[in-house]
Structure 1
Amino acid sequence: MANVVVVGSQWGDEGKGKIVDWLSERADVVVRYQGGHNAGHTLVIDGVSYKLSLLPSGLVRGKFSVIGNGVVVDPHHFVSEVEKIAGQGISVTPEVLRIAENAPLILSLHRELDALREDSNSGLKIGTTRRGIGPAYEDKVGRRAIRVCDLGEPETLRDKIERLLTHHNALRRGMGAVEISAEAIHSELMAVADKILPFMDRVWDLLDERRKRGERILFEGAQGALLDNDHGTYPFVTSSNTVAGQAAPGSGLGPAAIDYVLGITKAYTTRVGEGPFPSEQDNEIGQFLGEKGHEFGVVTGRKRRCGWFDAVIVRQTVRTSGIHGIALTKLDVLDGMDEIQVCVGYELDGQRIDYLPASMGAQSRVKPIYETLDGWKETTAGARSWAELPAQAIKYVRRIEELIGASVAMLSTSPEREDTILVQDPFQD
């Protein structure tokens, strides 16, 4: 049996929540390995919607779940999200969830700094969720982060807070913001310490033991690979590595633990926030896709930008994440269209290219090259076998496979878990 990494192959919002939920039935352990509570996952189970942004999706199915060291954890949001799904009948206890002892914490000062930067009249607007994710990762890399394990050592916590504030108060003075006292941060942390510490564990050790016992591990990514800090549309990216390879360092397991990478891929393209989007349709087509696909951010409620499927960026992600197969989602949103376009290449300064360039300037200048395919009038919604799909819809799927260099392992035809066509079980190595 294989261990599987689920990664978004576009800019996020590809439908990872449903696919992780579908796969979790076959898994023994579900692990979040990067990001924070800035990525929303929606699961629809028996008509009930569960909206998660920090907790692993496997919890809704009662699967043993882990928040890895690669995640930045807002302790107050953690408590509120646990309480929220408890109100929906999902109990979250240390028996079913563990948090890595070395996971960095997001504090109120991180959220405030995030907002101060976004609201600044100078600099570049990234379009963050203002939840403090980026500043928290900065402190991790700067070796001044407060981590989960620090909550259990109150005798040294104050010194660590003072060191953190030496950096942050200097920033706040420079931005005209009021300085923060160490006592305020200490009180903020102590208010939730007793609710976090029972979940703390040596996650790297726990996962290694479970793997040795032959348990199947599902690694759940957040955001999408095109928001990767190295391989995405920099600087309009998130502050962590979102490609599949991050599953190893973000959980404490070595790369040999990864057997299969499943790329979640929307049948068209969406993006939230700022940054390049070559196939964007800022017109009636984009409006149609947005309305029919209910394209609003789970976390922020922001309207998503919509456009045609971009085979160039997905083909690139297949390579940077080592994707073995894709789960194609939201095919039903394209039902009823007379024709469908697919971006098959770019033109940059008069030359045709087959990749997304790294520089911001070049990314802003690329022009999409489209191939036009016939649409279909029949519905694909709710289909559970290839025989139920219109012939032209199958041709569309096959053309996508050819263009991106990866096969469709799963096909999702509605938000409902059961409306899924399985071609290849990722857990069968």
Structure 2
Amino acid sequence: MCGSCMATRLVVLSGPIGVGKSTLTKSLATRFGARIVKTRELLDLEAQHSFKTIHSREEYQAFGEALDLRDGGQWVANAVHELFRREPADFICVDSVRIQAQIDFLRKQYGLAVFHLHMTADIEDLEMRFLERSVTFEEAASYAESQLCETERAVHHLAARADAVVNTSRCNPGDVVVRVATYLKLLSRDHAPSVDLLVGGQFGSEGKGHIASFLAREYQLLIRGGGPNAGHKVYETPSVYTHHQLPCGTRSTTAQLMIAPGAIINPEALLKEIADCGVTPERLSIDPRVMIISREDIRAEELLVKRIGSTGQGVGAAAARRIMGRSEPALLARDVAALKPFIQDTNRLLENAYLHGDRILIEGTQGAGLSLYHGSYPNVTSRDTSASACVSEAGISPKRVRKIVMTCRTYPIRVQNGTEGTSGPLGKELSWSEVAKRSGYSEEELTAAEKTSTTGRQRRVSEFDWVQLRRAALLNGPTDIALTFADYLDRKNTDARRFEQLTDATIKFAEEVENVTGAPVSLISTRFNFRSIIDRRNW
């Protein structure tokens, strides 16, 4: 292979006129950064050297045949070499060759970097496409006339020795791109697990934000689903920051960020969070299918705030409108002008991450006990909060999941009851004064800390619910448990930096969690602080 070119992939196209070669090369250039070399432009350069001007297809064909007779077809390889000697490229696409000798010389020059793709189509399609072509030179009157050239007529013989053949009559241009990109390994063909998932095992507020921000530094792509009804706190100095719609590693890492297709967003609030965090369009991708919350959605949930303690952010109303508004399509992220710089088909983002072996973290919201289907209905949120649902919202196959981390706090919480109803059942309830007595904190410290991230309402608290833990484990199938608020068992745990430094009662508690869930307690949060997570993972 030629060292001066440095191409690791050189795609050589062949096929009849009108088969779709130019359409394919444009897509390869736009989507995958291919550098395109058109042999017609090489012919123009050769003609200039000979003080010759070419005006028609017939003249191009004749001049190309003359060059082939001169050096046996080596002129294409020589011209490509000279072009990329001056400007090296990693991915080159030659559009197109007409005789086998041209391909052979390219293979001799670039070795295994060469991939020969032959394109074909039914004669009826070729004849129709020929008439629809737009060219800058004098064209033949018909496809049949263009085939009077013997070399042009013989192009179909190149299929016999091609690395791949694609019939473009049997698929649309997008299909051709996917098939060819897969041949070229521009798209991943394996399903190796590279996705880790963080979910809540109780009623939300389990400390997922703290765990997510700790894990985020190990990933190249961070994904957030759900809606702004979930606030995830991240420890920062001098104060904390609460993420409602961006992933919790946004401010502490340089990872790519994605808002999943199944998410529901408030554009104004999201744009403020984007500005707060200094996020650029190059870093954040919002799927065009994300649902938008309207002011009417927020107003529609006023009754739910009173009856079940809903956050009233409009998430449920927006989700309902997405379903019921299909006769008149609901407003999506792609329809909001201010979001357009961030809009991207996230399937492509994921494809690229898979191809490069990037690690991906999906940050789930709320908790298993709030699942629309598996929680204590009607005191639930407007979506399924399980691990399976989070993966589905992101558009990721379950086969790609490597780890499922389920977060559980030592004392589960729910928000205070609504003014006209209840926010839902909560195990064996306790007073914060009782938790204070057990932990060593003052009641004032606990009640000040235990207010919801989104609405600022006081939380209720209960004994640890082992039945709920078991149900959440069955629902989510965790590979690991993140146990949070270990300091609520005993304030002495705030000084622990290793597992064995926890109190004996805390260690026994963690062992019991492992016994009930069948998963190791791999992460333990001892307080909300910078160095406050004991990491026991083996991954």
User: Given the two structures, how large is their TM-score scaled by the length of structure 1?
Assistant: 0.73
Q: Equivalent residues in 2 for 1:344-363 (5 A)?
A: none
Provide the secondary structure at the position in 2 that maps to 1:319. helix
Q: Which is higher, the Rg of structure 1 or of structure 2?
A: 2
Q: Is the 8 A contact 1:248 1:257 kept in 2?
A: no
Residue in 2 aligned with 1:300?
Answer: 455
The answer to whether residue 313 in structure 2 is matched with residue 200 in structure 1 is no
Residue in 1 aligned with 2:407?
Answer: 264
Kindly report the root-mean-square deviation, in angstroms, between the aligned alpha carbons of the 2 structures: 1.9
Q: For 1:73, which of 265, 268, 286 is the aligned residue?
A: 265
Residue in 1 aligned with 2:196?
Answer: 4
Provide the secondary structure at the position in 2 that maps to 1:59. coil
Residue in 1 aligned with 2:393?
Answer: 250
Structure 1 stretch displaced more, 8-17 or 200-209: 200-209
Residue in 1 aligned with 2:279?
Answer: 92
Q: For 2:217, which of 9, 22, 25 is the aligned residue?
A: 25
Aligned equivalents of 1:57, 1:328: Cα separation in 2: 18
Aligned equivalents of 2:469, 2:303: Cα separation in 1: 34
Structure 1 stretch displaced more, 281-290 or 50-59: 281-290
Provide the secondary structure at the position in 2 that maps to 1:247. helix
Evaluate the alpha carbon distance shift between residue 213 and residue 268 of structure 1 in structure 2; reply closer, same or farther with a 3 A threshold.
same
Letter in 2 for 1:396: F
Aligned equivalents of 1:392, 1:229: Cα separation in 2: 35
Evaluate the alpha carbon distance shift between residue 138 and residue 28 of structure 1 in structure 2; reply closer, same or farther with a 3 A threshold.
same
Residue in 2 aligned with 1:44?
Answer: 235
Residue in 1 aligned with 2:300?
Answer: 113
Residue in 2 aligned with 1:333?
Answer: 488
Aligned equivalents of 1:382, 1:257: Cα separation in 2: 38
The answer to whether residue 315 in structure 2 is matched with residue 133 in structure 1 is yes
Q: For 2:290, which of 76, 85, 103 is the aligned residue?
A: 103
Kindly indicate which of the two structures has a greater share of residues assigned to helix.
Answer: 2
Q: Deviations over 1:202-259 (max 9, x none)?
A: 0122112212210000000111111111111111111111111112221112111211
Aligned equivalents of 1:37, 1:117: Cα separation in 2: 16
Aligned equivalents of 2:223, 2:444: Cα separation in 1: 32
Q: For 1:210, which of 342, 353, 358 is the aligned residue?
A: 353
Q: Deviations over 1:42-66 (max 9, x none)?
A: 1113443111111111211232111
Aligned equivalents of 1:145, 1:231: Cα separation in 2: 27
The answer to whether residue 259 in structure 2 is matched with residue 146 in structure 1 is no
Letter in 2 for 1:106: I
User: Given the two structures, how large is their TM-score scaled by the length of structure 2?
Assistant: 0.59
Residue in 1 aligned with 2:367?
Answer: 224
The answer to whether residue 498 in structure 2 is matched with residue 385 in structure 1 is yes
Q: Is the 8 A contact 2:263 2:290 kept in 1?
A: yes
Letter in 1 for 2:433: E
Evaluate the alpha carbon distance shift between residue 117 and residue 230 of structure 1 in structure 2; reply closer, same or farther with a 3 A threshold.
closer
The answer to whether residue 434 in structure 2 is matched with residue 279 in structure 1 is no
Q: Is the 8 A contact 2:223 2:362 kept in 1?
A: yes
Aligned equivalents of 1:386, 1:286: Cα separation in 2: 22
Evaluate the alpha carbon distance shift between residue 59 and residue 283 of structure 1 in structure 2; reply closer, same or farther with a 3 A threshold.
closer
Ranges in structure 2 where 5+ consecutive residues have no aligned partner: 1-192, 417-422
Evaluate the alpha carbon distance shift between residue 268 and residue 137 of structure 1 in structure 2; reply closer, same or farther with a 3 A threshold.
same
**Number of equivalences:** 331
Aligned equivalents of 2:400, 2:390: Cα separation in 1: 9
Provide the secondary structure at the position in 2 that maps to 1:314. helix
Q: For 2:382, which of 239, 262, 271 is the aligned residue?
A: 239
Structure of greater relative contact order (alpha carbons < 8 Å, 6+ residues apart): 1
Provide the secondary structure at the position in 1 that maps to 2:392. coil
Aligned equivalents of 1:424, 1:31: Cα separation in 2: 22
